[in-house]
């Protein structure tokens, strides 16, 4: 019998552990990253962790104690119309916000920033108010809605699941993990693998049976380990961070303010500890390289592992800072009028536009905007606030939903007629300003602003 040749097509998943770790670091807030660094340092003697002149805890304690301490928000480079050295202090510790916010309040605020159909919004509000403390709907989300609103269930859930924290609006913890994987930008094939892993293989993974899991999933054992490492970065119960005993202190990651009439951007590095490689361990590695002793080879293996881990952490921190920096510069370019003149000048902007500027996937921008804030001359805002749908006025000028809401608020506050303005009257005034907003839209935005239709300014 003649030997024959056969060809077969095999699809394999190759996941970069470095990519998984990078995506994880991008989503961490300053507090979470600081905790991660200290946790790593506890098990890695090759790392030297020095607190900056000021730290996250310093900021938090300053706020709690209401002291007069002021720390600078400075970096070597100031970005703006004149990029260069500028060590002038910019007091910002007063911008730290002590926030105790329920999950429902947080989600409703986020929903208010979305441009969605009124019926869908009503259904979403109903679901949000019924979520449990974990952020879950339970096994039958349709049961949360009256019969008349059930046709909007899928759209309402999609809106809720697009909000921060990622994973809310799920049926249970497994569904939540799958939502987080989908939102991370994973490919469809990867999502299917994760689904099989979560639904069928977690017990085997916990028992360390990675070879068995690899066989069951028909992938390499190395890929199983990468999948598992990524799973461990997710949060199965995303709503718990908004429980009643969670006290959150906001530290802005970016500052964009006017200095001498020029808008400048700075990245806040002061709240994070400084991470360095212990030179003693580097010297030990060099001295052991030429040794042929088995004992020294074991020591060399240990040293190399710890040094690689420390160098990886430093590289991830630098990648996070670099992505934040490029994102901030893109936001400054697109939202220059907002930073210069205030919220009414916020333009419509999508994450896709910023992603194209930065040269990354849209999911990366979504992660870098998660749980992070930007300090401006007009207050501290979530980075996600700067992304909004747009309306084009008669003159061709773009207006974001946030800007229109600010206009409505100003019109109501400046009304001195002695009578409350109707939604139609406000719509007419906006039209005179070149902004198209129907009466129904004005009513919706007024509701989101929590301004009653009978409100009138006291004389």
Calculate Rg over the CA atoms of the chain: 26
Q: Give the pLDDT of the chain (459 residues) as one tens digit per residue.
A: 444 544 444 444 455 556 666 777 887 888 888 888 988 888 899 899 987 755 545 544 443 433 232 233 333 334 443 333 333 333 434 444 445 568 888 888 888 777 788 899 999 999 999 999 899 999 899 999 999 999 999 999 999 998 888 899 999 999 999 998 888 777 888 888 899 999 998 888 888 888 999 999 999 888 888 888 888 878 888 888 776 554 456 778 899 999 988 999 999 887 788 999 988 888 887 777 766 677 777 888 888 888 888 999 999 999 899 999 999 999 999 999 999 988 878 887 888 899 999 998 888 888 888 778 898 988 888 898 888 655 444 444 555 666 777 778 888 887 877 778 887 888 788 877 777 777 777 777 777 777 766 555 554
CB 134 within 8 A of CB 120: no
Query: Which residues are within 8 A (CB) of 448 and not within 5 positions of it... i.e. 6 or more apart?
Result: 112, 405
- The pLDDT score that the predictor gives to residue 111 is 85
Q: How far apart are CA 407 and CA 336, in angstroms?
A: 18
Q: Looking at the DSSP assignment, which residues form a beta bridge with residue 79?
A: 265
Check: CB of residue 266 under 8 Å from CB of residue 254: yes
Contact 61, 93 (CB under 8 A): no
Count the residues in the chain: 459
Q: CB–CB of 203/279 below 8 Å?
A: no
Residue 84, sorted as left (phi over 0), alpha (psi -120 to 50) or beta, turns out to be left
Q: Which residue do the tokens 């333009």 mark?
A: 347
């Amino acid at each position: 019998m003649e030997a024959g040749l056969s060809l077969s097509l095999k699809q394999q998943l190759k996941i970069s552990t470095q990519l998984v770790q990078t995506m994880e670091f991008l989503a961490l807030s300053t507090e979470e990253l600081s905790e991660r660094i200290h946790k790593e340092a506890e098990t890695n003697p090759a790392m030297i962790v020095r607190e900056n002149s000021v730290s996250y805890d310093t900021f938090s304690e300053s706020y709690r104690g209401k002291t007069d301490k002021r720390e600078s928000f400075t970096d070597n480079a100031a970005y703006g119309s004149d990029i260069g050295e500028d060590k002038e202090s910019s007091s910002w510790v007063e911008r730290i916000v002590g926030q105790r916010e329920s999950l429902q309040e947080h989600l409703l605020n986020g929903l208010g920033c979305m441009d969605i159909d009124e019926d869908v919004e009503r259904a979403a509000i109903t679901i949000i108010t019924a979520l449990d403390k974990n952020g879950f709907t339970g096994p039958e989300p349709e049961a949360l809605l009256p019969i008349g609103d059930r046709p909007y269930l899928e759209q309402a859930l999609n809106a809720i699941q697009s909000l921060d924290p990622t994973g809310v609006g799920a049926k249970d913890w497994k569904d939540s993990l799958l939502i987080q994987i989908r939102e991370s930008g994973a490919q469809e094939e990867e999502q299917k693998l994760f689904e099989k892993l979560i639904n069928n293989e977690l017990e085997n993974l916990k028992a360390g049976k990675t070879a068995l899991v690899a066989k069951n999933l028909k992938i390499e054992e190395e890929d199983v380990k990468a999948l598992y490492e990524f799973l461990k970065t997710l949060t199965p119960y995303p709503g718990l961070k908004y429980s009643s005993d969670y006290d959150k202190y906001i530290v802005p990651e970016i500052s964009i303010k006017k200095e001498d009439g020029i808008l400048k951007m700075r990245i806040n590095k002061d709240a994070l500890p400084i991470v360095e490689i212990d030179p003693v361990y580097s010297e030990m590695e060099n001295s052991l390289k030429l040794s042929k002793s088995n004992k020294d080879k074991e020591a060399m293996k240990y040293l190399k592992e710890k040094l690689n881990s420390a160098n990886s952490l430093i590289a991830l921190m630098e990648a996070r800072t670099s992505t934040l920096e490029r994102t901030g510069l893109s936001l400054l370019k697109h939202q220059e009028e907002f930073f210069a003149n205030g919220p009414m000048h916020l333009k419509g902007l999508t994450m896709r536009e910023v992603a194209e500027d930065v040269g990354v996937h849209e999911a990366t921008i979504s992660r870098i905007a998660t749980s992070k804030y930007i300090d401006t001359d007009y207050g501290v805002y979530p980075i996600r606030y700067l992304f909004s749908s747009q309306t084009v006025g008669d003159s061709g000028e773009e207006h974001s939903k946030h800007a229109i809401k600010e206009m409505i608020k100003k019109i109501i506050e400046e009304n001195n007629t002695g009578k409350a303005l109707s939604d139609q009257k406000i719509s007419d005034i906006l039209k005179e300003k070149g902004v198209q907003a129907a009466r129904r839209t004005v009513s919706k935005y007024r509701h989101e602003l929590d301004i009653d239709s009978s409100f009138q300014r006291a004389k």
